[in-house]
Amino acid sequence: MGPVTPAADAPVLDVSGLAYAYPDGHQALFGVDLTVRRGERVALLGPNGAGKTTLVLHLNGILTAGAGTVRVGGLPVGKDTMAEIRRRVGIVFQDPDDQLFMPTVREDVAFGPANAGLRGAELEACVTRALERVGMAAHADRPPHHLSFGQRRRVAVATVLAMDPQILVLDEPSANLDPAARRELADILLSLDLTVLMVTHDLPYALELCPRSVILSDGVLAADGPTGELLADAELLGRHRLELPFGFDPSAARR
Ligand SMILES: Nc1ncnc2c1ncn2[C@@H]1O[C@H](COP(=O)(O)OP(=O)(O)O)[C@@H](O)[C@H]1O
Ligand SMILES: [Mg+2]
């Protein structure tokens, strides 16, 4: 075998045999395999407690695998690669208040790129571009805690976009958003030309935003396929405690 160089066509995300037990002994993941290729938008569906957030926390090394591997663009997640992995994987956490901690929106978005060495006009341009992509450039000088929840969620997305990640990972992005904010965020996500892994139990959101879905259930991947096909399988959804909103017809929706 030749030297191990990450192939140019390596998947953006390659999770293999990932298992994890929390320190209290509770096992949350039992051997998860998941490959996401460049440009894909994949929804990670599953009921509460399925292990979705636990999986997300492995993608940039916040948690480290009990067994198995996670590779990002061919690079394995590990102690030595952590800085580069965290640049490649942009995670938008469920609660924006876990992500925003500076006095102004501008400083929050500048934090990551400044840490990575950007300065002056280059840093300013990077911050402005990230805020423009989420429609928040006009709010750059406001304190994040003066913004609505939906606006804070968008700023959290901007903090991640500012790092120019290879994959954008969102944990329950539509949770706690009112219908207008939910729609605005969907339009923003659709406008981004990025590889996306979106954790959600909002099935219509998955259908609109993600051509492919996987179902995580009790710590194992139970299904992987076109979102429309998965959502049309009432028996599959029922088995994994996933519910479509009353009256929602997946075959009549956009995708
Ligand atoms: N810090 C923790 N310590 C022990 N068990 C945990 C911890 N966090 C989550 N769990 C358990 O791991 C399982 C998966 O949780 P989680 O990944 O948060 O699920 P999801 O995001 O799909 O709702 C659940 O049974 C949960 O109770
Ligand atoms: Mg969760």
- pLDDT per position as a tens digit, 47-81: 999 999 999 999 999 999 889 999 999 999 999 99
Q: Which ligand is nearest to the CA of 216?
A: 1
In this structure, the residue with its CA closest to atom 24 of ligand 1 is: 49
- What dihedral angle (degrees, nearest 10) is formed by the CA atoms of 116, 120, 121, 127? 50
H or E element that contains 75: strand 75-76
Name the 3-class secondary structure at 240. coil
Q: Three-class SS of residue 21?
A: strand
The reply to whether ligand 1 has any atom less than 6 angstroms from the CB of 54 is yes
Q: Mention every residue, 6+ apart, whose C-beta is less than 8 A from residue 121.
A: none
From CA 79, how far away is CA 237, in angstroms rounded?
38
Residues 71 and 14: their CA atoms lie apart, in Å, by: 5
Task: Please tell me if the CB atom of residue 52 comes closer than 6 angstroms to any atom of ligand 1.
Answer: yes
| CA 15 from centre of chain | 14
Q: Looking at ligand 1, which residue's alpha carbon is closest to its atom 4?
A: 22
**Residue 251: what pLDDT?**
87
- Report the separation in Å between the CA atom of 88 and the middle of ligand 2, taken as the mean of its atom positions: 21
Q: pTM of the full predicted structure? A: 0.94
Q: How far is CA 190 from the centre of its chain?
A: 14
Task: Round to whole Å and give the CA distance between 111 and 156.
Answer: 12
Is the Cβ–Cβ distance between 212 and 224 less than 8 Å? yes
The alpha carbon of 192 and the centre of ligand 1 are apart by a number of angstroms equal to 30
Look at ligand 1, atom 17, and give the residue with the nearest C-alpha.
51
Q: 11-241 falls under which CATH superfamily?
A: P-loop containing nucleotide triphosphate hydrolases (3.40.50.300)
Using DSSP's 3-state secondary structure scheme, residue 54 falls into helix
CA angle 100, 121, 93 (to 5 degrees): 20
Residue 223: predicted pLDDT: 98
Mean pLDDT of the chain: 94
Atom of ligand 1 nearest to the CA of 172: 21
Q: Quick one: average pLDDT of 115-139?
A: 97
Closest residue CA from atom 2 of ligand 1 = 22
